[in-house]
Amino acid sequence: AVCHLWRPTRRATRRAHVCRTHSRMATLVEAYLERLGLPAACLADGPTLPLLETLVEAHLATLPFSNLSQHLAGGDAAPSLSPSRLQEKLLARRHGGNCFELNGLFALLLRDIGLETLLLQCRVWTGRERGNRGKPGYRRHPTHLLLLVGGVQGEGNARFLVDVGFGEPPLGPLRYSVGEGSEQVTAEGMRSRMVQLGDGMVQLESWRDAGRDPWHVRASPSPATEAGWVPRLSWAEADVELFGAAAAPCLADFAAAQERCLAEGSTLRQKLVVCRLLREEKVTVAGTQLRITSPRFKRGGRVPTQRVAELGCTEGVRAALLEHYCIPREETSALQLDASVAAPGAWWRHL
């Protein structure tokens, strides 16, 4: 089977990359660029904002948000966060991962090319799509990790919010700006803003169109659904102030948070999800279903629609993982889907 990936260019994202065997590289930067399908020449101008935008878009198109490891017989219940293990899994074996893995390794790449990063813990706004059986609201504990990035050439002291480990984050960096005038639109059309909450918290929100669910794809069950801002993530201002401080956390400090996310009975443990993002398309395997959403956001009168295919069996899912994510078949030979088949259909519907 031939596996195709999208590769970002300056003007568009093109379907051009044919999956090939990963060669062992001498450095993390070389291995990462090869995995993303980017030439070493992209680093020639230094750590600029266009470079950061290119890296984020390429990452989201190539390394999926995924819990595949938790659905393999003998797989990692709580994957190691050591840099060498992450590099082996994400770059050499061509897997995706969770937020701690994806943003954790990406932070190392950004540091190696001259940028400053802060690992920022946050809480996720959840509903039934993420296994919340009660009313929508924030999880009790921080269960997500994203990045605050500084040292961008030509941008002074500006910092940027970067996330390559969420189910559907903005497709590029967001300038860290809270309050009035903070609305930003990324390349795929997502509108985002950061607002101040009480008790020293900041909230990231995205825009929802009228009459549609918060992810724009389906008509809302309630015709009266109004257009408005939807909560997504929140974090403490005090954590942001750790940027550049000696007390800033390292990736190993988030091992307990990852274990909490992957605990027995968690949504991540009970239903398979693999999702990658492009400007015009979202490609998701959820359980035994393949969903391709295009366009991702309302554009020029076009409304997001989904093509859905029932994969039917383990072999069908394995074939989709190869075709759409370039995950080699030898990496999915131990795939188990009993839990995914039994899980509620609403889980991961936002992806």
Distance CA 273, CA 326 (A): 15
> Which of the residues 59, 71, 95, 144 is marked catalytic?
144
User: Alpha helices of the chain — where are they, by DSSP H?
Assistant: 28-36, 49-62, 83-86, 99-112, 237-240, 255-261, 267-270, 314-325, 338-342
The active-site residue out of 99, 261, 275, 326 is 99
**What is the CB neighbour count within 10 angstroms for residue 9?**
12
Q: What's the CA gap between 6 and 188, in Å, rounded?
A: 14
Q: Which of 90, 93, 124 is nearest to 104 (CA)?
A: 90
Integer CA distances (angstroms), 220 to 212, 276, 325, in order = 4, 24, 30
Q: Is 76 a catalytic residue?
A: no
Sole residue written with tokens 């802060």: 118
Is 141 an active-site residue?
no
Q: Are 305 and 293 in contact (CB under 8 A)?
A: yes
Catalytic (active site) residue 163 = yes
Helix axes 28-36, 49-62, angle to 10 degrees: 60
Annotated catalytic residue: which of 59, 163, 213, 275? 163
Instruction: Find out whether the peptide bond into 295 is cis, omega within 30 degrees of 0.
Output: yes
**In contact, 28 and 90? CB cutoff 8 Å:** no
Regarding beta strands 184-185 and 174-175, do their DSSP bridges make them parallel or antiparallel, or are they unpaired?
unpaired
Positions marked active-site: 99, 144, 163
